[in-house]
A and B are shown apart, each in its own frame.
Chain A
Amino acid sequence: MERNVTLIGLFAALIVALGFVPAIPLGFGVPITLQSLGVMLAGAVLGSWRGALAVLLVQALVAIGLPVLAGGRGGLGIFVGPTAGFLIGWLPAAFVTGLIVERLRRVPVALAAGIGATLGGIIIMYALGILGFWLVKNAGLKPEDAPISLWAATAIMAPFIPGDLVKVVVTGLVARTIAQYRPSALLARG
Chain B
Amino acid sequence: MLSLALPCRSWAHRLPAALKFGLLAVAMIALMRIGSLAGQGAAVLVVAALTASLGRKAIRQSLVTLRPLVWIVAVILIWDSLQGAVAQGVLFGLRVLAMVGLANAVTLTTPLPEIVALIERLAQPLARFGISPRIPAISVALVIRFVPVLRARHDTLAEAWRARSARKPRGKLLAPLTFSLLDDADHMADALRARGGLALPRKGRDTVGT
Contacts and interface: CB of A to CB of B under 8 A. Distances in A.
Contacts of B12: none
B192 A5 contact: yes
B69 A81 contact: yes
B147 interface: yes
Interface of chain A, main secondary structure: helix
B70 to A, nearest CB: 12
Contacts of A65: 3-5, 107-108, 110, 112, 115
Contact of B197 (A2, A66, A145, A181): A2
Contacts of A72: 64
Interface of chain B, main secondary structure: helix
A79 B88 CA distance: 22
A145 B87 CA distance: 10
B199 interface: yes
Contacts of B150: 10, 13-14, 17
A8 B33 CA distance: 38
Of A10, A136, A173, the most chain B CB neighbours within 10 A belong to A10
B75 A20 contact: no
Interface residues of B, number: 78
Nearest to B115: A64
Interface string B88-118: 1001100110011111101110101001100
Interface residues of A, number: 60
A137 B179 CA distance: 42
A53 B83 CA distance: 42
Contacts, number: 206
A3 B189 contact: yes
Contact of B4 (A75, A136, A174): A75
Nearest to A64: B115
Interface string A5-21: 11111111110110010
B35 A10 contact: no
Contacts of B2: 67
Interface string B143-156: 11011011100100
A82 interface: yes
Interface string A109-128: 00000000000000000000
B103 A140 contact: no
Interface of B: 1-5, 24, 28, 32-36, 40, 64-66, 68-69, 72, 75-76, 79-80, 83, 85, 87-88, 91-92, 95-96, 99-104, 106-108, 110, 112, 115-116, 119, 135-136, 138-140, 142-144, 146-147, 149-151, 154, 171, 174-175, 177-179, 181-182, 184-186, 188-190, 192-193, 197-199
17 contacts: A2-B197, A3-B185, A6-B184, A6-B185, A7-B182, A9-B139, A9-B142, A20-B151, A65-B4, A75-B4, A75-B65, A75-B104, A82-B76, A136-B95, A141-B35, A142-B35, A145-B87
Closest 8 CB pairs of A and B: A9-B142, A75-B107, A140-B35, A76-B103, A13-B146, A77-B100, A77-B103, A65-B107
Interface of A: 1-3, 5-14, 16-17, 20, 37, 41, 45, 57-58, 60-61, 64-68, 71-83, 136-137, 139-142, 145-146, 148, 152, 156, 170, 173-174, 177-178, 181-182, 185
